[in-house]
Structure 1
């Protein structure tokens, strides 16, 4: 139960990414990600200053962390630039489904049961309705869907593989974020134009970094180390619904029937997934 609470905490923080991003659309994506990830690593620094061994992790573990935090955002931003954003996000939200379905492949001793598969498919149906607003996937096929699919696979496999590498302290997530943030800033320097940030921009970046791109990763790591990856994967379908609902409030859009239907499907999927043994 504690593991699911950690997961729900991360999900709640991730739900605010779209709303915060709405206020930072003028900031180049790699610059935004780099600054936010570095800020997100700050909570781990006091623990590391007291005990530097907290960040002495094997190179394989560090590579996995950078793979998860950096590659996921890199591929997602490439997808959003080369495919319709709503559809690209929809493809990206396949990662909870991949977590559920890949659990028995990556994790020894994990068995995938029929209720898990049904819950994952039900949850994805809800996510599709929430993100696409009940509309079909129109438009021509863009090559940007490939990196969107890849980003989903990256986050799912990262989440599962953290339980296959040697045990590492949760504070090491700060190291993953710091290295990933530096790589993102390098990408900004190479690929994006220079941009000046206002005081308001820095304040929003601090909120984004300390929350959705910071504390959420620490909570997610705790959840994965203590909980059932299949249940956590199903719970993750709450993210697109919560994000869309928050966006309707921030943007003064009405709470549509499609969001209500998505909520019913996702809550049903979560209940079905958690009851499966």
Structure 2
């Protein structure tokens, strides 16, 4: 059996190497270029990279839509309904291959990380006691693009890649803090909030770290199997358990048509985002996706202001400029040999 598979593997490797670096002229040179250039990396399709970047746009609508759903259905019931409807959408559009084909290590570790991320983020937001803490916890969660960029650089095995990624990561992270925190962000107050109620911040940071690991490690572990739909449905089950244990029950007032529209839109935003991201991770360029993920909080803040009727101040636009600048710095360093 192994003797029959090896020639096929060599043929696939030959094709991928030429696709990744056609300008190199030889298979050996293409393989060398891809191993030293993380932007070429394991990319097999530019279209898949674009699909992965579409997740950033879809996730951008998540925060505002979740707020609208929570107002209509309650926090715990709303979350359970969002992931249930989203799970049904994924089962229709992205029905997974037979589970027996999935590597057990990927199903176990990938599934645990996916569910742990969602649980940590949900709990961190729920444990925030004030609006200011909610903003601060969101900022901690939005460290995941920075962590993902640094982890991707480390996994690229390119000499000095992490050091070169740091300047852009720092600039972009400051931009995220300004864009999301805006004029309400106060460093001294934030330190006091962390000291008085550290658990939500620890959970948010753990979630950011877990997601960065998941996004950077699972593509190689999956062997091409996409378990996003399975993992998403597992989150739905967990959220129903949390809702039933919370004792919140049904909403006091029957939600209007607007609540159901928001529920469908939110489920599409979150489930569609995960589907696009999963496809992009498996078949696209991971470092490009990592750098592009800096835009997630920008889209999130902008869409929330539109959905919730909040004006954008000057700190937001300064933050956008810094995020763009940090991303360009990362791209410039990544393209250098």
- Which TM-score applies when normalising by structure 1? 0.87
Measured at CA, do residues 169 and 59 of structure 1 come closer, stay the same or move farther in structure 2, by a change above 3 Å? Answer: closer
Partner of 1:9: 54
Contact 1:99/1:233, CA 8 A, preserved across alignment: yes
Picking from 71, 79, 84, the partner of 1:38 is 84
Picking from 264, 268, 273, the partner of 1:206 is 264
Contact 2:111/2:231, CA 8 A, preserved across alignment: yes
Picking from 92, 113, 117, the partner of 2:166 is 117
Picking from 194, 206, 225, the partner of 1:169 is 225
Measured at CA, do residues 32 and 71 of structure 1 come closer, stay the same or move farther in structure 2, by a change above 3 Å? Answer: farther
Q: For each residue in 1:2-55, what CA deviation from the matched residue of structure 2 results, as whole angstroms up to 9, or x when unmatched?
A: 344223210111110111122123334443333222322334434787x85267
Q: How many residues align?
A: 273
Deviation of 1:62 after TM superposition, in Å, equals 2.4
- Which TM-score applies when normalising by structure 2? 0.73
Give me the whole-angstrom Cα distance separating, in 2, the residues matched to 1:45 and 1:230.
Answer: 28
Partner of 2:318: 261
Contact 1:70/1:184, CA 8 A, preserved across alignment: no
1:191 aligns with 2:253: no
Contact 1:33/1:73, CA 8 A, preserved across alignment: no
Where in structure 2 are the equivalents of 1:123-272 lying within 5 Å?
123-134=172-183, 135-137=185-187, 138=189, 139-141=192-194, 142-143=197-198, 144-170=200-226, 172-196=227-251, 198=255, 200=257, 201-211=259-269, 213-272=270-329
Secondary structure of 2:102's aligned partner: coil
Contact 1:7/1:223, CA 8 A, preserved across alignment: yes
Give me the whole-angstrom Cα distance separating, in 2, the residues matched to 1:96 and 1:256.
Answer: 23
Give me the whole-angstrom Cα distance separating, in 2, the residues matched to 1:8 and 1:28.
Answer: 31
Secondary structure of 1:25's aligned partner: helix
Structure 1 residue runs of 4 or more that deviate by more than 4 Å after TM superposition: 46-49
Where in structure 2 are the equivalents of 1:46-85 lying within 5 Å?
46=92, 53=98, 56-83=101-128, 84-85=133-134
Contact 1:94/1:149, CA 8 A, preserved across alignment: yes
Q: Which has the larger radius of gyration?
A: 2
Measured at CA, do residues 240 and 100 of structure 1 come closer, stay the same or move farther in structure 2, by a change above 3 Å? Answer: same
Give me the whole-angstrom Cα distance separating, in 1, the residues matched to 2:304 and 2:182.
Answer: 12
Q: Which runs of 5+ in 2 are unaligned?
A: 1-45
Deviation of 1:95 after TM superposition, in Å, equals 0.5
Structure (1 or 2) with the greater helix fraction: 2
Q: RMSD between aligned alpha carbons? A: 2.5
Higher alpha-carbon deviation: 235-244 or 187-196 = 187-196
Contact 2:144/2:209, CA 8 A, preserved across alignment: yes
Q: For each residue in 1:177-227, what CA deviation from the matched residue of structure 2 results, as whole angstroms up to 9, or x when unmatched?
A: 11221122112111341124635333322221122x211111111222234
